[in-house]
Chain A
Amino acid sequence: MTRTLSKFLALLFTFAMIAAACGSDSSPDDATTDTTEDGGGGDDDGGSDVTTGDVDDDDTVVEADDETERSYGGSIAVGLEAEAVGLRPWEDACSSPCYNIFVTIYDKLMEQTIDGTYEGWLAEDITPSDDFTIWTMNLRPGVTFHNGVELTAQTIADMFPIQQEGSQSSSQIAASNLAGVEATGDLEVTYTLSQPNSAFPAFLSRVQLGAVFEPAAAAADLDGFSNEPVGTGPFVIESRDLDNETVVVRNGNYWGVDPQGNQLPFLDQISFRPIPDEGTRLDALLSGTVEAMQTLRQGTIRDARAAVEDGEDLTLLEFQGNNVGGGQFNVLVPPFDDVRVRRGLTQMNSQENVIDALGGTGISLPGTQWYSPDSVWYSQKVADAWPQFDFEAGSATLQEYIDDPERSDGKAPGEPIDVELSCPPDPTLIAAMQVIEQTWSATGNVNVNLTNYDQQTHINYALGAENGFVGEHGAHCWRWSDDNDPSVGINPFLAPPTPEIAEAAGIPDIVSPLNFSNWFNAEAFGAAVAATQTDNFEERYALYEQIQLAIAEEVPIWYSGHTATMIGTVSNMQGLNGWHLPNGTVGIGFTNAEGRWAEVWLN
C-alpha cells in the first residue's frame, strides 16, 4: 500500500511539473536583446563593446579609466572555459582560456597595441635589417624573474634551444623563419631569419615564442616547470590543482608601473578556475562564485546580455575579432576537389540561419573573409566577391557537377554526392550543422551524413598525420584567423599541404601540415610570401586582398560568423578594459576573451 502510494505521489509530482512548465514557458523575445545599434556588433572601435547596467547606451572603445584612484589589495576568481594543460610556453598547447593565466606569470617581448601595431613590452625596441632577415632587439633593464635571476640578452639566447625542442615553439620558429638567436650585448639580442619576415615582431607577441621564461629553471626540470613556472610577470604561481584551481599571487618585485606611475599589479591574488560548461560559468559569475568569466560562445553572450538587462550588476567586455567560424572542404578528396561542388554547397548555406542557430543573431557578424569589418585588413572587394547565400544558383552549380560524365567522385551522372559534415559535439554547432544539412539535402543532390567527434579527434581527422596529412575529413567545421598580423595565420594555411604538391610547385622544402583544407594556389602562396618581405601597409594590404579574393573564387572554406567573445566581470572590477603597454600606449584590449590582469583593481 505504501509503495503504491509513493508511486502515485511520484506520478502526481511529475504531472505537477508538467503543469508548472506549461505555465512558466518564457518568450524568447523577452530574453534575447540586440544591444548594438548596428544589429551585428560592428562598430568603429576596434571591435570592442562595453556593456554595464543599462545595455542600451554604453557602446564604447577600449579605453582606460585614467581618472579614478586605484586601490591595492583584494583577490578575485576567474572562471575559464577550459583548464590550461600545462604552463610551459614552449611545450603546452594553449588557447584563450590558458592565455589568461600565462600573461599573469610571463611577460612577452612584444605586445599588440589598439592600432594593431606591435611595440615593446620586455623589449624596449626592435629594429630590422633592410631585407628583414636580421632583427636587433634591446631588452628593458632592471627586470628580474620570480626566482631573483636577472633578465639579460643571454637569457633570451638560452631560451632558444628549449624552444627549438618544444612542440609549440618549434612550429612558430618554422613559421617565422627564425634560424638563430644570439646575445650581442648585455641587453641586445640579435635574431637571424632564414627568409625575410617583416612581421617577425608579431611572433614575439605570441606566447610560444615571445613569453620569457627562466631557462636555467626550465632546463633543470622540464616537466616540473609546467606546474612551477618561473617568469617575470606581475604574478607568481602560488598553487596549481589541475582541473580545479590555479592560484597566482602578487609579484612584489614586478618592474611594471601604470601610466600614472602606480606600481603594478594591484590585486593580491587571482584564482583561475576551469568551468567548462557555459551556463554554469555564467551562473558562477551571477552568483558571485567568481568575479570574472570568459566565453567564446555567442549563446553565452546573449544570456549575459539578458542578465544585465534584467538588472544584474555586471560589466560585459565584448570583442568582435577577426576569428571567423565556418567549415572547410578537403580539396584532395572527391567530390570536394571540384570547385563547382565547393561553390554550390557554399551558396546553399544560409549564413543568416546558421548564425541564428549558433545563438549569434545580433552578436556575430557574417564572415566573408579572414578579417572582420573592424579590421584594417578588411576588404569590401572581397566581401562583394564572396559567394553569398543563393540557393538557386548554388543548386545549379552543383547540378553541373552532378550531370558531368567525368565527375571526380566516380559516380554515374545524376547520382547525388555524398558529404560527411562533421563538427565537435557542442550543442550550438550541432544546431548549426543541422541547418546546413537541411539546405544541402533539400536539393536531393546531396546525401549528408552528420558526425560529431570530440575536439581532439576532430582536429586529428583534419590533420591526417597517418595518411600523409591529407586528412580523413570531408566537410569539416573549423575556425580561422585572429587579430595578429595576417602572416601569422595565413602562411601555414596557404603553404603546400603535402610533399608531392610542394615538389610539383617547385618548393620541395616547404610543406605545411597546418593547411587543413589542402588547398594550394601558387599565386596566393606567392602573395603570402611577398607580404612578409615588405612592411609597406598598402603593398601588404593589396597582397592579402589578392589572397582573400582567391579564396572567394575557389572556396576551399566557408564562413558562418565572426566570433564574438566576452569577459564578464562584477561591476566593481576595473582596469581590464584599456590596459597599457609600458610606453603608455593602450593595448589591443581583450581579444578572444584574453584579459591582461596586471592593471585590474577592485573599486
Chain B
Amino acid sequence: MTALDAQTDSISITDDDAPAERQGSTPIERPKRATPLQVFREMPIVIKLSTIWLLLVFGGAIYAKIDTVLLNDALPLQNPNLQTNNFNPATGEFGDGEPNESWSSAHWLGTDTIARDTFARIVHGAWVSLIIAMVSAGFGVVVGGFFGSLVGFVRGRTETVTMAAMDVILAFPALILLLAMVSIFEVRSLTVIALVIGFLSIPAYTRVARAGSLAVSQREFVLAARAIGTKPMKILFREVIPNVLPTVLSYAMVAGAFVIVVEGSLSFLGLSVQLPTATWGNMINQARGNLKVNFAQVFWPSMALVLTVLSLNSVGDWLQKRAAHRGSAL
C-alpha cells in the first residue's frame, strides 16, 4: 500500500469500484465525534450565551406556532393580534385594557399602540424570522451549495457560465431587487417572502461553496479517487460536497443573520408578510410613530433582532473556525 493509499483510507474513502484487495486494508480509526454537550462545553462563554439565546428564539417560535395552529391558543401565551386586551369577538366590544401600557405581570413587555401584548408579538415574530432564515439557508445550502461545489469541481465552461450568472445577480443591489420581486408577487405570504429571499441568497452560497470545492478538488484524496477511476459524480457527492458542507453550513448561520435583517428592512417598509402578522420589523415600524410615548415598543423588537443577529454571527463565526480547523486537519 502506498502512502497515498494510506492517506486515502484514513479519511474512509470506501470506493466500491476499487479492486477487491484494496477493500481489505485497515483504515486508521477516526476520532470519536463529540456529543452536543461536549461541543457546548467547549464553547467560549459568548458562544454559549449566543447559543442559549438562539435556542430560546427557536423554541419560542415553535411554541408559538404550536399554540396557534394545533392548540387554538390554549398555551399560556397571549394572542399576538388581540387588541385592547379584552376585545370580545362575540360582541365586538373592546375591554378596559389600555394601549401603550408599561410592563406588568399581565404584559411582561407592555402593550403596543393598539393594546396588543408585546411579548406575545415578539415570540410570534420569531417564527417569521426563523422561517425566513431557515428557508433562505435551506435554499442557499441546497441550490447554491450544490452549484458551487459542482462548478468548483468540474471547472471549465460550466463554471464560467454559472459564476457569470451569479455575478449578475450579485451585482444587482439586493434590497432593490428584493423590493421589485416582492412588488411583483402581490400576495405577501411568508412562503413567498422566504422563497424570494432564499433565491437571492443563492449566489453568495454558490461562491462560498465554489471556493471550498476548488480547494477540496485539489486535495490528495480527491486526486486519488480520480486516479483510481471513480466516477466524477460519485467523487462530487462522496468526497467534495461532504467536505465543503461544514463551511457552507457555518456560512449559513452568518447569512441567516443577514436575511433576518433584510426581512426586518422589508417589514419596516411595509413590504413583508401581511398585517396583522407580527414580525420584528413591522413591530418597529408601527411603533416608530409613537417613540415619545412608548419607546419600549421600539426597543424590545429591536433588541430581539440585535441579539439574534449577534448570536447567529457569533455562533456562525465560531463554527467557521471549527470547520476550518477540521479542514486543515484532513
Contacts and interface: CB of A to CB of B under 8 A. Distances in A.
A357 B115 CA distance: 9
B275 A450 contact: yes
A602 interface: no
B83 A438 contact: yes
Interface residues of A, number: 53
Interface stretch (A9-17, A185-193, A256-264): A9-17
Main secondary structure of the interface of B (DSSP, over half): loop
Nearest to B88: A442
A395 interface: yes
A427 B290 contact: yes
Given A353-B84, A437-B276, A450-B274, A7 B292 contact: no
A25 B102 contact: yes
Contacts of A450: 274-276
B46 A350 contact: no
A25 B108 CA distance: 12
A452 B49 contact: no
B291 A31 contact: no
Main secondary structure of the interface of A (DSSP, over half): helix
Interface in B36-64: 44-46, 49-50
A7 B314 contact: yes
Contact of B303 (A14, A26, A302, A303): A14
A11 B286 contact: no
A279 B292 contact: yes
A287 interface: no
B237 interface: no
Contact of A27 (B50, B102, B287): B102
A306 B292 contact: yes
Contacts of B314: 7
A18 B303 contact: yes
A35 B294 CA distance: 20
B44 A4 contact: yes
B114 A425 contact: no
B296 interface: yes
A518 B94 CA distance: 33
B117 interface: no
A232 B269 CA distance: 42
A359 interface: yes
Given A7-B314, A391-B91, A25 B296 contact: yes
B50 to A, nearest CB: 7
Interface string A431-468: 10111011100110000011110000000000000000
Nearest to A454: B270
A532 B82 CA distance: 49
A426 B275 CA distance: 13
A504 interface: no
Nearest to A4: B44
B8 interface: no
B45 A28 contact: no
A21 B299 contact: yes
A392 B88 CA distance: 12
Nearest to A442: B89
A529 B291 CA distance: 47
Contacts of A366: none
A220 interface: no
A22 B103 contact: yes
A434 B275 contact: yes
Indicate the member of B50, B82, B100 with the most A CB atoms within 10 Å.
Answer: B100
Contact of A442 (B92, B275, B287, B289): B92
A514 B233 CA distance: 66
Contacts of A449: 274
Contact of B293 (A4, A22, A303, A437): A303
A391 to B, nearest CB: 3
Contacts of B44: 4
Contacts of B270: 425, 430, 452
A68 interface: no
A449 B274 CA distance: 8
A381 to B, nearest CB: 27
Indicate the member of A17, A31, A435, A437 with the most B CB atoms within 10 Å.
Answer: A435
A198 interface: no
Given A11-B310, A427-B286, A21 B94 contact: no
A356 B99 contact: yes
A25 B112 CA distance: 13
B50 A357 contact: no
Interface string B53-91: 000000000000000000000000000011110010111
Contacts of A452: 270, 275
A357 B114 contact: yes
B223 interface: no
A21 B296 contact: yes
Contact of A359 (B103, B285, B289): B289
Interface in A402-448: 425-428, 430-431, 433-435, 437-439, 442-443
Contacts of B269: 425
B325 to A, nearest CB: 15
Interface residues of B, number: 50
Contacts of A350: 92, 94
Contact of A427 (B45, B101, B102, B289): B289
A593 B46 CA distance: 53
Nearest to A27: B102
A25 B110 CA distance: 9
Contacts of B303: 14, 17-18, 21
Given A428-B289, A430-B270, A438 B87 contact: yes
Indicate the member of B83, B92, B93, B293 with the most A CB atoms within 10 Å.
Answer: B92
B113 interface: yes
Interface string B294-330: 1110011001001100100010000000000000000
Nearest to A306: B292
B307 A451 contact: no
Indicate the member of A7, A8, A302 with the most B CB atoms within 10 Å.
Answer: A7
B289 A24 contact: no
A451 B287 CA distance: 18
A287 B121 CA distance: 34
B92 A430 contact: no
B159 interface: no
B92 A395 contact: yes
A444 B97 CA distance: 23
B275 A433 contact: yes
Contacts of A353: 83-84, 94, 114
A279 B276 contact: no
A32 B83 contact: no
Contact of B285 (A427, A434, A438): A427
B5 interface: no
Contact of B286 (A8, A395, A430): A430
Contacts of A433: 275
Given A11-B310, A28-B98, A427-B286, A303 B45 contact: no
A10 B310 contact: yes
A28 B110 CA distance: 11
B295 A26 contact: yes
A348 B110 CA distance: 27
B30 to A, nearest CB: 29
Contacts of B99: 28, 356-357
A492 interface: no
Contact of A391 (B93, B296, B300): B93
A10 B50 CA distance: 11
Contacts of A438: 81-83, 87, 276
Given A11-B310, A392-B92, A427-B286, 10 more contacts: A4-B46, A8-B45, A25-B103, A28-B99, A28-B294, A306-B292, A389-B92, A392-B91, A427-B285, A434-B276
16 contacts: A14-B307, A26-B293, A28-B102, A359-B289, A389-B92, A392-B92, A394-B92, A427-B289, A427-B290, A431-B113, A433-B275, A435-B114, A442-B92, A450-B275, A450-B276, A451-B274
List of 10 A-B pairs having minimum Cβ-Cβ separation, nearest first: A391-B92, A427-B289, A442-B89, A28-B100, A425-B270, A450-B275, A452-B270, A7-B46, A21-B299, A303-B292
